[in-house]
Structure 1
């Protein structure tokens, strides 16, 4: 399970870096064409919107894998370790339910409906653009299942388990830059 997580982490990291880089280039191109050439690019603004959505969805899935999302853990800290582990498993199950119902099923339905619609600006099916929704849901569900597996097998709260997969990330967590 750890090998799959490492591969998925690397893929999502590369995809997010590529999307962010492409987004910067698109926005720069839009600014140059609008203010330098006085003729704004037709496609770059629309493509940047979808690129940002894909980046947000895949980035959020990646953050789930690193357990780096925001959490209000004031109440959770009041519980003893065994009960805290139960609360963490419950939270992961709630996230799985949300991801399955909203992201995977809802995203699949939206993608299916939009599959035959063409984007007027980009001339591609809108379904391709919506496909990031169920994909990110699948990644989030995998990461939640992985977290539950780690909590159960390590018999520790999630915050005490090292989830980082790269040596650089591990050294950063330990304070070494």
Structure 2
């Protein structure tokens, strides 16, 4: 199971790296062309915007996994350990429900926009909005992989690439 989880995380990270790299090259090339030739790539801004949407939703899971999202911990810190654990169960249920809702809503939204196309590239908006259900599905998987340690000890994952407790103390 650990090997599958490692592959899943690696695929997620490489997808993020690839999307960010391609987006950076497109934007950089467009800026250079605009200032050197007074011409720009017609589809560059649209594609970069859509890639940013994908980057956001695909990146949501690893950020949640490592405890990188903004959180207010004062209530948990002020409660006795058992009450704080019950609060974390409630939070876990809310996060799970939110992910499931976003997956359902994303699929509905894809269905509603499947016949609309983007202005420059003429692709279906459903491909752009696929980022929501796919990204939240991946986020749900990340969440389910760490939820037990979060509820029991308020721990998030950490590795050589990212440690939320080290970055929080900076």
State the TM-score, normalized to the length of structure 2.
Answer: 0.86
Matches within 5 A, 1:81-96: 81-96=81-96
The residue matched to 1:75 in structure 2 has which SS? helix
Corresponding residue number in structure 1 for 2:146 = 147
Does structure 2 retain, via aligned residues, the 8 Å contact 1:88–1:157?
no
Corresponding residue number in structure 2 for 1:128 = 127
In 1, Cα distance between the equivalents of 2:51 and 2:161?
27
Corresponding residue number in structure 2 for 1:76 = 76
Corresponding residue number in structure 2 for 1:55 = 55
Does structure 2 retain, via aligned residues, the 8 Å contact 1:64–1:140?
yes
The residue matched to 1:118 in structure 2 has which SS? coil
CA spacing shift, 1:108–1:49, aligned 2, 3 Å: same
In 1, Cα distance between the equivalents of 2:91 and 2:135?
18
Q: Could you list the per-position Cα deviations for residues 113-136 of structure 1 after superposition, in whole angstroms to 9, with x for gaps in the alignment?
A: 222322231122221111010011
Does structure 2 retain, via aligned residues, the 8 Å contact 1:9–1:65?
no
Q: CA RMSD in A?
A: 2.2
Corresponding residue number in structure 2 for 1:113 = 112
In 1, Cα distance between the equivalents of 2:84 and 2:11?
31
**Residue segments in structure 2 that go unaligned for 5+ positions in a row:** none
State the TM-score, normalized to the length of structure 1.
Answer: 0.83
Corresponding residue number in structure 2 for 1:35 = 35
Give the CA deviation at 1:151.
Answer: 4.5
Pairing 1:158–2:162 present? no
Matches within 5 A, 1:1-16: 1-16=1-16
Q: Which moved more, 1:114-123 or 1:45-54?
A: 114-123
| Residue correspondences, number | 166
In 2, Cα distance between the equivalents of 1:5 and 1:65?
12
Does structure 1 retain, via aligned residues, the 8 Å contact 2:113–2:126?
yes
Give the CA deviation at 1:168.
Answer: 4.9
**Residue segments in structure 1 that go unaligned for 5+ positions in a row:** none
